[in-house]
Structure 1
């Protein structure tokens, strides 16, 4: 036999695996057939020989048929939705299609899922007729954030006589993204009166006089009422006034991820509260027209503005933000200075909302200097003593932040972000923050009123 005609090693291994899949019934038929054929040869009984050959050949034929047709069953998975919040449910639909001309035997279907999503779902399916299909579904949920792979799908095929079983694993898999829980926040104005799309913001062109208008050339479709005749006479072609460009309000959400600043783990831990709070605040401000960037204590920018006009579409920005927070973990840093450097290098205006872990006096002093000039700063600071069951203690961190003009609130166990958010917009809290900042020799900016 030439080298080109030699059986491929993969084919031999596949046949060996198929014969290894003989069930107890198949092995019993094979053993009985061999024994009957041996006795028939010794005794010279042709009828017994025929029976022995039938018993021995039947399981072998089942193996060959199952091996030859095992690729004719296709499987698919549909995940709805692909992104859920913590403790939310997603439905996984599995579909099997028999694309061969022969019916299948009994099928056992199993899908691989991570331990955090629950036990592996298993289904037993009756025979599928040629060209037929079967659909089953199950639900998954997780209290923890993360990205969880689903699959690959595993299938055990058996012949109609139950002589052989083969295991098949499909290669396709899906990913379930579990994002932080998002709370609906009350519509407070925390940015000194700026709503987001320029309300309360400076409009340079609106404040400019007739002689200060910077014109541009006329374009097809421009309103003729916007023609700037003085510039037209000067340039010798039609010139029009530029449209007023409203400025979008900016906000930075700072999330402290230092491992040393949080104790405990799990869905009810203070770190998960901070991650959920950052997601809630960022999405709330995105809905109100703010340009939001998400910053961590390491100085890394998880999400920021993008798109052709410099701003991300709110729905896309929200999706990117939630995906980034879904896989966020503790950092190994112990200092907030990288975040301070990132804020100092960026814009010095706008709204700053910080979710901070436990602060000592040194880290509180670093955080106090982060307050933007001419902007508003709100801090939700973890009360580590209350979370550890040692009683509530405001600590020096809140005092230093308030002296620097921050609106700083302590976060204890069982406190919801909507309640703290409403408290942060209360006039009494804002006035106290401004007065404390002025008493400390710093400029305090009062927060805006209710929307």
Structure 2
């Protein structure tokens, strides 16, 4: 068992080299040759020559044969969620001029996944012929952290029958894998907007979508000329704009602050995984809101769209894939936060950030949002108090977003509600 573990671990280092046993055999041969000359003992010289010949034959058996390999790798799940398990199926078709010696295989795994990806070569059920080996291996993996990663390459280490020389090489290509954040359940908002739900918001702002029978409103400075309702303008004599253009504003807005200054990457940082916690919270909040009837836009602090949820399954997968690849922007400050929340006045506005001080928190606008929520992983001592004074529901964000969501004013829906 110990030798097998050593082979599997060392298979990750490609190259051809002499093993510890081979070095011992070489030194023994040199010692025997010296002793034979000093002691005038021919038998010792014969033993030395035998060891040298064995070393040469072992080296030829390991190093000389040319190998051609075809590696196929399939993953059961298209998207792997952090904390979930799936299975990897690996097929190796190895062709060589000579009978392939025994050894160990090891499939290289990224940090994003965990699993036992090594074993004996050839396996017990392998099809072995005079010029090659065909074998199929399966092993389980689980999502460890979000990210875009790759499985592989396959590392194969073989030794001669005497264990004097070893050959380790990379075989096949890598297989991309996407590990998406886990969607954790959240309690419902106790705020009026949360109790009404996104369905109420949608029905009041989306009735008659795309038609001309909505009540237009008067033009105000700043409205786009493309929103002019010409039929109503001609009828009333004043410039009128289409009321249904409110549909362009999402019922709920989730802002993930990616400013590099918010997410220190030094070893002294209190929580080096804080950004991952923020991304997990972002996914949980967005899915929670869309499940409760809201149309959700997820943007970064500069207003760049990360994902849009309107209830379709492919939209949810698209958002999770985008969040799997998202990372802090190097050197970016928080100047984009006003632009991200500007004009959002319909439903919940959730801002998720990292380290934020009192001055920035006090200047953070919410545009009159129905429920402004600020979640910060590393706020300054008085930062959340300053934000709360301007109407924000605040909480410190840790590993469990449900705790922060509850601290920000959410709790489970009561078992019985009188209407």
Do both proteins adopt the same fold according to a TM-score greater than 0.5, normalized to the shorter chain? Answer: yes
TM-score band, normalised by shorter chain: 0.5 to 0.7
Question: What corresponds to 1:409 in structure 2?
Answer: 394
* Structure 1 residue 280 corresponds to structure 2 residue 284: yes
Corresponding residue for residue 423 of structure 1? 410
Preserved contact between residue 253 and residue 292 of structure 1 (Cα < 8 Å)? yes
In the alignment, the residues of structure 1 paired with residue 162 and residue 357 of structure 2 have an alpha-carbon distance, to the nearest angstrom, of: 73
The one of 263, 270, 291 aligned to 1:264: 270
What is the rounded CA distance, in whole Å, between the counterparts of 1:334 and 1:165 in structure 2?
A: 50
* SS of alignment partner, residue 194 of structure 2: coil
Task: Please say if residues 375 and 404 of structure 2, whose CA atoms lie closer than 8 Å, have aligned partners that are also in contact.
Answer: no
Are residue 303 (structure 1) and residue 293 (structure 2) matched?
Answer: no
User: What is the match of residue 125 of structure 1?
Assistant: 121
Q: What is the aligned partner in structure 1 of residue 315 from structure 2?
A: 317
Residue 378 of structure 1 corresponds to which residue in structure 2?
A: 372
1:43-91 deviation digits (Å, cap 9, x = unpaired): xxxxxx9xx9999888767666655654244433333435434344454
3-state SS of paired residue (1:95): strand
In the alignment, the residues of structure 2 paired with residue 359 and residue 162 of structure 1 have an alpha-carbon distance, to the nearest angstrom, of 59
SS in 1 for 2:203: coil
The CA distance in 1 between the partners of 2:209 and 2:72, in whole Å, is 57
CA gap of 1:287–1:397, structure 2 versus 1, over 3 A, is closer
Deviation at 1:277, TM superposition (A): 1.7
Cα deviation digits, residues 132-169 of structure 1 (max 9, x gap): 42424253552x43334332221113455656532221
Q: Name 2:141's counterpart in structure 1.
A: 139
Structure-to-structure mapping, 1:325-364, within 5 angstroms: 325-332=323-330, 335-344=333-342, 351-357=348-354, 359-364=356-361
Q: CA offset at residue 393 of structure 1?
A: 8.4
Q: Distance in 2 between matches of 1:67 and 1:450?
A: 81
CA distance in 1, matches of 2:139, 2:51: 40
Residue of structure 1 aligned with 2:73, choices 77, 83, 88: 77
Q: Which has the higher strand share?
A: 2
Runs of at least 5 residues in structure 1 that lack an aligned partner in the other structure: 1-16, 36-48, 210-245, 306-310, 428-448
SS at match of 2:364: helix
> Do the aligned residues in 1 keep the contact of 2:102 with 2:158 (CA within 8 Å)?
yes
Deviation at 1:279, TM superposition (A): 0.9
Rg larger in structure? 1
Residue 202 in structure 1 maps to residue 188 in structure 2: no
What is the rounded CA distance, in whole Å, between the counterparts of 2:102 and 2:65 in structure 1?
A: 15
TM-score by length of 1: 0.57
CA 1:334–1:362 in structure 2 vs 1: closer, same or farther (change >3 Å)?
farther
Answer yes or no: is the 8 Å Cα contact 1:378–1:424 preserved in 2. no
TM-score normalised over the length of structure 2:
0.61
Cα displacement (A) at 1:302: 4.5
C-alpha displacement of 1:295? 1.7
Deviation at residue 181 of structure 1 after TM alignment: 3.2
Question: In the comparison of the two structures, how many residue pairs are matched?
Answer: 345
CA distances 1:377-419 after superposition (whole Å, capped 9, x unpaired): 421343857xx9x8x985222111x1xxx5x133365762553
Change in CA separation of 1:202 and 1:155 when aligned onto 2, cut-off 3 Å? same
Deviations 1:185-240 (A, max 9, x none): 3466639654289433332577839xxxxxxxxxxxxxxxxxxxxxxxxxxxxxxx
Could you tell me how far apart the structure 1 residues matched to 2:100 and 2:106 are?
Answer: 17
Distance 1:26 1:361, change over 3 A: closer
Alignment-derived partner of residue 101 in structure 2: 105
Q: Secondary structure at the match of 2:316?
A: helix
Higher RCO by CA contacts (8 Å cutoff, separation 6 or greater): 2
CA contact (8 A) 1:78 1:94 kept: yes
CA contact (8 A) 2:69 2:92 kept: yes
RMSD: 5.2
Q: Aligned partners of 2:114, 2:383: CA distance in 1, in Å?
A: 39
